[in-house]
Amino acid sequence: MIAELTISEIILRQRKLFNTGKTKDINFRIAQLKALYDSVAQNEAAIVQAMKADLNKPEFETFASEMVMIFKEIDYAIKHIKTWTKPKKVDVPVQFFPASGKIYPEPLGVVLIIGPWNYPFQLLIAPLIGAIAAGNCAILKPSELAPHTSKLIADIVSQIFEPAYITVVEGDAEASKKLLAEKFDHIFFTGGTAVGKIIMEAAAKHLTPVTLELGGKSPCIVDTDINLEHTARRITWGKFINAGQTCIAPDYILVDKKIKDNLLDKIQKYIKEFYGDNPAQSPDYVRIISQRHFDRLTSFLKDGKIITGGENNPTERYLAPTVIDNVSWNDDVMQEEIFGPILPVLEYTDISEAIAQINCRSKPLALYLFSNNKNLQERILQETSSGSVCLNDTVLQVGVSSLPFGGVGDSGIGSYHGKSSFDTFSHYKSVLSNPFWLDLKWRYAPYEGKLAFLKRILG
């Protein structure tokens, strides 16, 4: 954090550097991406330690969900950046002959990236990769709810990049408020829908475009035509990694009544297999980020019937992996994104009714369907809307760089990962070039006698 400068001065300094054109050089961008990769690799132990301090996150999850994602995104960007940055020739209608057209990708300028607390390293650095690849300067705002990771990010960034290029601003909501009062060329925010509305309102005052990576209640539909063991294991994994504090975690199960009991038995089996008889003692189970979030989550335990879990310890902010049956659509646990280790279960007898229930709610960030039935798969794809869909698995779609990641409706605006990250932080400038060697007079006044010709060439 550059304490001696005001927010306005930090932005001004970055604009001065951007205006030199330094960040537009392709070799410069590649060098910065490589430096970022090397620094993340060199700081692996420190990243693991920070995650442990903030979330009690096990080393395996830190490496798999934070660091590997970064390595893959950087590799993908370096591999494709020269193709992404090339002007693209486009067809021009014959009436414009001999003109030619091209589209030039250009960086936006100075961008603001605001990160969340649940994956506090990866979800701040991943969009930065796109900003660097596109040639921008950037200000990063880590979440104050993960203070150890926030401090580490500030240290790493200050060691790699000159502050006029990329800077970290730490602090609480007041720091965010000061940042949002300024004009940026783009704001990228990952977090909850309520804060996303605040971000969008602040950005609107400056006509600043935004990317909002939000969340929502991601449904998990379970059909009868499945491999029950694999289904239960994959749902259990996707729901309870990071103690459910994952924006695309299955928020609730919507299961065919005929197999509900069998599915619940298997989920309980895998919770025990993953975390033991007492998950509080497991080295692989994460804690809730703050007391406020812990209190919100435990308030949901009154709904339905707890099949397994429910144990909690406010001192440690521990909440056991919990499955709740006999839940209704009107219960509190079904009114907002859970974002924690509570899995409500609802049943259906008619898939049309299940689809209708999903469609009468806000569009989710992800939708999961477990079924071998190709017709049902196609029906779900055609009759529902969500940011992404994963068939017969959970969460994995976020790790594929060639798949854009983002929401729709209340679950977000815009997307990133791979080429989509480059696109998000780029402006595609249209350029028409008309040579001097031919200059037909049909478009110039006087127009007498030219209308029939114009209609012919346009026909």
> What pLDDT sits at residue 2?
43
Catalytic residue among 61, 66, 213, 337: 213
> What pLDDT sits at residue 277?
96
User: Is 213 noted as a catalytic residue in this protein?
Assistant: yes
Predicted structure pTM score? 0.95
Where along the chain do its domains lie? Answer: 7-214+411-431, 219-406
Within this chain, domains 7-214+411-431 and 219-406 share the same CATH topology: no
CATH dotted code for 219-406? 3.40.309.10
Mean pLDDT over residues 83-109, rounded?
96
Given a cut of 50, whether residue 454 has pLDDT beyond it is: yes
Is residue 251 very low, low, confident or very high in pLDDT (cuts 50, 70, 90)? Answer: very high
User: Over the chain, what is the mean pLDDT?
Assistant: 96
Q: Write the DSSP string, 231-280.
A: HHHHHHHHHHGGGG--TTS--EEEEEGGGHHHHHHHHHHHHHHHH-S-GG
> What pLDDT sits at residue 1?
41
Burial 39-57 (b: 16+ CB within 10 A, else e): ebeebeeebbbbbeebbbb
Contact 412, 123 (CB under 8 A): no
Catalytic residue among 66, 247, 337, 390: 247
User: Is 247 noted as a catalytic residue in this protein?
Assistant: yes
Is residue 453 very low, low, confident or very high in pLDDT (cuts 50, 70, 90)? Answer: confident
- Domain 7-214+411-431 superfamily per CATH: Aldehyde Dehydrogenase; Chain A, domain 1 (3.40.605.10)
Mean pLDDT over residues 386-397, rounded?
97
Q: Residue 188 and residue 116: Cα distance in Å, rounded?
A: 11
Is residue 321 very low, low, confident or very high in pLDDT (cuts 50, 70, 90)? Answer: very high
